[in-house]
């Protein structure tokens, strides 16, 4: 994985549910801290765009889908544990 | 069998599942617009039941459905269900059935709290789009297991339930139970779901004496009566089939007054014309009492009338049966060849009684059989337990009556177990219409076969024991002789018959002799009569002659006297003309 790779995040949320709001906040904080200037966040509300959720088989909300860099990863939950997120993204050894 | 149940069952708003028997148990199906919980161990048939419910709705009821697959991929589910003939792929193409793959990915990472909102939102759209009325969540336990704690599980179950109720979808949620813990289900973490849902069904799959037995039980059904007992079911070629006896309210049985021949002339006479069409006939007897021969005779006669017949033999191979029956002049091979007779050999080793019933029903329907022979039905009690065998036989009789099929079954009696007067092991003798008992009679160093009709409903029947004689020309029933309160058969009967024949001959000879003697006497009398008659005639002639002679003499005399007068010239008072005429 390239050090300069840009992470594209798609976060599926369920309207203004508490855990969804938490996930948005946690992801933003995480990116600010660990991936400054190399991230893109797209938030998809499953109530407004249910077909996209269907297409991507989103079962649970909030779900974070990481498309690039490959492989595709899915992380469910409020993303409250930064370490889990780091491990999932393969960033634990190569911190900036 | 509670008569008041049928009235209670008529509560409104039920969604039929299309599963034979299940709708009868629940009085019409699952609660409409409510949630039903389906609990069972691995391989207990949860997915099949749920899928059949959807396929029936989409295919027959114009109620599109959604299947949410948490465990197995939808492709595999569709492929596995292919053999049931529900046309799932076609229904999917027509957008009447939608499979949502919701298997959690194995590499799914969890970080913090989450819920099922995403799935429900997606389903919401899909349900509205296709106008879905039915929905199945298969193996919800898989997704519940992802949730961090019990509270979260409960929360999500409530969320799901509330969502289902708000959309008025008729839903099935299936859950796995531990393999052997079907009865302690309420102790499990999601046991409380059973209190929440409106209907709960428990599926059970057990092995009794090495034979697989499936059963289901409706545990609760809010606002409706239901059959509370465990009912056996089977996964057959068309899906689930739940075994239920006909309810009392069923009055559509076709009752016929027509008769069909038993294939044995004397037996027909004894029964007053044969078996009733559509009746069930039981032939009991020890092994070797020619039960199969009666089956063969009946089948041959049925095929001879042009009626399609199904012959199921449990103990012997069907080819052997055909060969063996040839020795008593029953030729079934020609009917097998022209397709009128279907011989099926089913060994008793595999399968439960339930399996057999379903197979026999399917075969009979497939063959279009009007007559069914099962030889012997007692083989069922061997495979699995006696209790199910009894209820299966019960349903077999119900089914054959409902379908107007004349059923002939035999039941083997175990000589060792000392069932003296042929109490059938399955206790089905009370259910059948005609019961024929075959027995051995050991007498004077011989073993002879005897036949008696124990009962025959609605028919005057002979109460005599007849001797059964098998020969290469067929089956005959001979009268037995009763002497001194004992029934004579075999050689004794033959001796008796011979003695009687000799006696008869002697009497005949004596009679002949007497006739000859009488004839002689008669002839003698006749001769005498003739000679007397001749004598009489002679006398009469003589007498007539005598009379005539006397008269002519007299005339001659008077004429002579007149002539003499004339000659003498006596007074001529008489004119001369008169003289000329004389």
Minimum mean pLDDT range among A8-22, B249-263, B493-507: B249-263
Whether A2 is in a domain gets the answer no
- Stated length of chain A: 96
Closest by Cα among B31, B36, B60, B30 to B200: B36
Which residues of chain A are within 8 Å of residue B101 when distances are taken between CB atoms? 57
Whether A77 is in a domain gets the answer yes
The answer to whether the Cβ–Cβ distance between B109 and A23 falls below 8 Å is no
On the question of pLDDT at B1 being above 50, the answer is no
Which residues of chain A are within 8 Å of residue B112 when distances are taken between CB atoms? 19, 22-23, 26, 77-81
CATH class of the domain comprising B259-479: alpha beta
Which residues of chain B are within 8 Å of residue A58 when distances are taken between CB atoms? 118-119, 122
Q: What is the pLDDT of residue B580?
A: 47
For residues B427-438, average pLDDT: 79
Rounded CA gap, B535 and B528, in Å?
10
Q: What is the pLDDT of residue B325?
A: 87
Q: What is the pLDDT of residue B351?
A: 66
**Which helix (H) or strand (E) element contains residue B523?**
helix B490-568
Rounded CA gap, B318 and B325, in Å?
11
Range of the domain at A85: 7-89
Q: What is the pLDDT of residue B536?
A: 93
B145 touches chain A (CB under 8 A): no
Q: pLDDT tens-digit profile of B19-45?
A: 878 888 888 888 888 888 888 888 888
Which residues of chain B are within 8 Å of residue A20 when distances are taken between CB atoms? 117
Whether A95 is in a domain gets the answer no
- Percent share of chain B, pLDDT over 70: 83
On the question of pLDDT at B572 being above 70, the answer is no
**B422, B269 contact by CB (below 8 A):** no
- Per-residue pLDDT band at B538 (split at 50, 70, 90): very high
Show the DSSP H helices in B61-116 as ranges. 74-80, 88-93
On the question of pLDDT at B518 being above 90, the answer is yes
What are the tokens at A51?
A: 């077909």
Residue of B nearest to A89 (CA): B109
Rounded CA gap, B29 and B23, in Å?
4
Which residue numbers in chain A have pLDDT < 50? 1-2, 95-96
On the question of pLDDT at B185 being above 60, the answer is no
- Percent share of chain B, pLDDT over 90: 9
Query: B35-40 and B280-285 as β-strands: parallel, antiparallel, unpaired?
Result: unpaired
The domain total for chain A is 1
What are the tokens at B7?
A: 């009235």
Superfamily of domain B3-242: P-loop containing nucleotide triphosphate hydrolases (3.40.50.300)
B470 Cβ contact partners less than 8 Å away, ≥ 6 residues apart: B290, B293, B328, B449
On the question of pLDDT at B359 being above 50, the answer is yes
Q: What is the pLDDT of residue B485?
A: 60
Rounded CA gap, B108 and A59, in Å?
11
Whether A31 is in a domain gets the answer yes
On the question of pLDDT at B5 being above 50, the answer is no
What are the tokens at B258?
A: 């027509």
What are the tokens at B41?
A: 């161990």
**B383, B352 contact by CB (below 8 A):** yes
**Residue matched to tokens 């099922």:** B116
A80 touches chain B (CB under 8 A): yes
The phi-psi region of residue B259 (left if phi > 0; otherwise alpha if psi is between -120 and 50; otherwise beta) is beta
B205 Cβ contact partners less than 8 Å away, ≥ 6 residues apart: B40, B41, B43, B44, B45, B212, B213, B214
Closest by Cα among B271, B572, B286, B229 to B411: B286
Closest by Cα among B478, B476, B496, B475 to B486: B496
Residue boundaries of the structural domains of chain B = 3-242, 259-479
The answer to whether the Cβ–Cβ distance between A54 and B102 falls below 8 Å is no
A24 touches chain B (CB under 8 A): no
Q: What is the CATH number of the domain that holds A70?
A: 3.40.30.10
DSSP class of B96:
S
For residues B544-572, average pLDDT: 82
- Per-residue pLDDT band at B4 (split at 50, 70, 90): very low
Q: pLDDT tens-digit profile of B99-112?
A: 888 887 777 777 77
Whether A81 is in a domain gets the answer yes
Whether A21 is in a domain gets the answer yes
On the question of pLDDT at B295 being above 80, the answer is yes
Rounded CA gap, A83 and A33, in Å?
12
Closest by Cα among B436, B441, B469, B438 to B454: B436
- Stronger pLDDT, B502 or B148, i.e. the higher one: B502
Minimum mean pLDDT range among A39-53, B106-120, B301-315, B372-386: B372-386
Whether A30 is in a domain gets the answer yes
On the question of pLDDT at B361 being above 50, the answer is yes
Average pLDDT over all residues of chain B: 79
């Amino acid at each position: 994985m390239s050090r300069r790779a840009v992470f594209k995040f798609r976060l599926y949320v369920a309207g203004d549910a508490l855990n969804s709001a938490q996930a948005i906040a946690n992801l933003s904080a995480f990116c600010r801290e660990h991936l400054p200037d190399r991230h893109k966040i797209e938030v998809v509300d499953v109530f407004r765009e249910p077909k996209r959720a269907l297409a991507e088989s989103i079962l649970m909300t909030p779900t974070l889908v990481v498309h690039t860099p490959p492989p595709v990863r899915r992380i469910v939950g409020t993303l409250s544990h930064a370490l889990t997120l780091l491990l999932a993204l393969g960033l634990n050894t190569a911190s900036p | 069998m509670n008569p008041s149940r049928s009235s209670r069952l008529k509560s409104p708003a039920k969604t039929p599942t299309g599963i034979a028997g299940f709708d009868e148990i629940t009085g019409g199906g699952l609660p409409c617009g409510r949630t039903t919980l389906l609990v069972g161990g691995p391989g207990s048939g949860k997915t099949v039941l749920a899928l059949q419910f959807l396929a029936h709705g989409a295919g027959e009821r114009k109620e599109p459905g959604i299947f949410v697959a948490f465990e197995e991929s939808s492709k595999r589910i569709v492929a596995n269900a292919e053999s049931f003939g529900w046309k799932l792929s076609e229904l999917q193409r027509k957008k009447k059935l939608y499979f949502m793959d919701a298997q959690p990915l194995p590499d799914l990472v969890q970080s913090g709290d989450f819920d099922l909102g995403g799935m429900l939102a997606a389903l919401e759209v899909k349900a509205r789009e296709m106008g879905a009325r039915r929905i199945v969540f298969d193996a919800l336990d898989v997704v519940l297991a992802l949730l961090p704690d019990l509270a979260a599980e409960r929360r999500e179950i409530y969320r799901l339930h509330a969502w289902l109720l708000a959309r008025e979808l008729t839903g099935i949620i299936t859950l796995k139970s531990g393999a052997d813990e079907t009865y302690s289900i309420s102790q499990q973490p999601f046991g409380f779901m059973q209190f929440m849902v409106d209907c709960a069904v428990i599926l059970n799959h057990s092995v009794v004496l090495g034979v697989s037995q499936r059963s289901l039980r409706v545990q609760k059904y809010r606002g409706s009566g239901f059959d509370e007992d465990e009912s056996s079911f089977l996964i057959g070629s068309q899906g689930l089939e739940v075994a239920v006896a006909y309810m009392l309210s069923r009055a559509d049985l076709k009752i016929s007054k027509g008769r069909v021949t038993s294939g044995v002339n004397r037996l027909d006479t004894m029964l007053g014309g044969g078996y009733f069409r559509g009746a069930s006939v039981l032939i009991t007897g020890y092994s070797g009492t020619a039960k199969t021969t009666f089956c063969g005779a009946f089948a041959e006669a049925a095929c001879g009338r042009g009626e399609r017949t199904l012959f199921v033999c449990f103990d012997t191979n069907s080819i052997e049966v055909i060969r063996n029956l040839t020795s008593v002049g029953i030729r079934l091979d020609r009917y097998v060849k022209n397709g009128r007779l279907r011989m099926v050999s089913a060994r008793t080793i595999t399968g439960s009684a339930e399996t057999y019933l379903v197979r026999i029903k399917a075969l009979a329907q497939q063959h279009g059989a009007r007559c069914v022979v099962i030889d012997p039905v007692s083989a069922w009690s061997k495979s699995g337990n006696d209790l199910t065998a009894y209820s299966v036989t019960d349903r077999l009789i119900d089914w054959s009556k409902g379908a107007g099929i004349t059923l002939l079954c035999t039941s083997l009696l175990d000589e060792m177990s000392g069932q003296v007067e042929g109490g059938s092991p399955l206790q089905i003798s009370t259910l059948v219409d005609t019961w024929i008992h075959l027995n051995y009679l050991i007498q004077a160093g011989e073993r002879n076969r005897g036949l008696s009709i124990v009962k025959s409903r609605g028919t005057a029947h002979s109460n005599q024991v007849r001797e059964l004689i098998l020969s290469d020309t067929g089956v005959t029933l001979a009268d037995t002789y009763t002497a001194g309160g004992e029934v004579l058969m075999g050689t004794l009967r033959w001796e008796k018959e011979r003695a009687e024949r000799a006696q008869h001959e002697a009497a005949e000879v004596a009679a002949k002799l007497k006739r000859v003697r009488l004839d002689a006497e008669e002839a003698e009398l006749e001769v005498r009569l003739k000679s007397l008659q001749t004598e009489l005639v002679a006398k009469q002639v003589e007498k007539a002659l005598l009379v005539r002679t006397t008269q002519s003499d007299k005339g001659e005399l008077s004429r002579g006297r007149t002539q003499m007068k004339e000659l003498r010239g006596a007074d001529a008072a008489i004119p001369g003309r008169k003289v000329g005429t004389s």
